[in-house]
Amino acid sequence: MVLVPDSSSDNIPTTEPLTVAALETERHVAISGWDQNPRIFALVDTATLVEAEPQLALDGAADRAPGALTAIEQEDLPQTSSLESLLGRMAWPETVHGAALAVERVVLPPGAEHDLPQDPEGAVEALAKHPQREDVRLLVAVHRDGRAVCLLRQRAHDRDDRVATGEDIAPGLVHALRATFEDD
């Protein structure tokens, strides 16, 4: 279990618990640099966590806010080549209020993908060498109640104050992460 440290001293410009947890988690992931495997975090109620484990209490104002969430990294995930397969097998206990996923992607400007080869292996190779490619890290956080927030960090503009925030930056990942909270 790895807890994401509180970064409330970094003047996070929001008080909405899911957004605060997403920003703290994204900054935690960013500390490890680029070229990382996907990382998944459970989001748990901070007050409940501290009640059960008082030694984990942090001293940030965000941690004392009503509804505050703490991210706990899920280590030792099953090895799979497919993120979709991994998420499709995940389910959370009731004590988990949300989840966050950090994943790196390569994106191209609109229309540039038309130049890529049709075969998957050739497309991956061409994408890696494409002069207009952009490396990005997405962090998608969802709450059990349906709320979601997406963060996007570009390698070319790798600064905390340049992270884009929105609800629909990665709709497919939001849907897949929300599905981990659905009952069969």
Helix (H) or strand (E) run with residue 165 in it: strand 164-166
pLDDT of residue 8: 47
Whose CA is closest to 72, among 28, 137, 10? 28
pLDDT of residue 179: 94
Whose CA is closest to 102, among 157, 23, 179, 10? 23
Residues of the chain with pLDDT under 70: 1-13, 58-64, 80-81, 184
What's the CA gap between 91 and 13, in Å, rounded? 31
Is residue 141 within 8 Å of 117, Cβ to Cβ?
no
- Encoded amino acid at 86, one letter: L
For 43, residues 6+ apart whose C-beta sits below 8 A from its C-beta are: 18, 21, 69, 70, 71, 72, 96, 97, 98, 99, 100, 141, 143
pLDDT of residue 17: 94
Structure-block tokens of residue 67: 């509804």
Phi, psi for residue 67 in degrees, rounded to 5: 80, 5
Query: Sign (positive/negative) of CA torsion 55, 59, 65, 69?
Result: negative
